[in-house]
Amino acid sequence: MLARQGDLEQAERLAREGACVAARTDFLVWRGEALLDLAEVLRLSGDSLGSSSSAEEALQLFDAKGHVVLRDRTRALLPEAVELRPA
The domain locations on the chain are 8-84
The DSSP call for residue 74 is H
Kindly compute the dihedral angle of the four CA atoms of residues 60, 81, 42, 39, in this order, to the nearest 10 degrees.
-20
CATH architecture of structural domain 8-84: Alpha Horseshoe (1.25)
Mean pLDDT throughout 75-81?
A: 73
The residue among 22, 26, 15 whose CA lies nearest residue 50 is 15
The DSSP call for residue 53 is H
CB 36 within 8 A of CB 75: no
Cα dihedral sign, 27-60-80-52: positive
Write out pLDDT tens, residues 7-66: 999 999 999 999 999 999 999 999 999 999 999 999 999 999 999 999 999 999 999 999
What's this model's pTM, rounded to 2 decimal places? Answer: 0.85
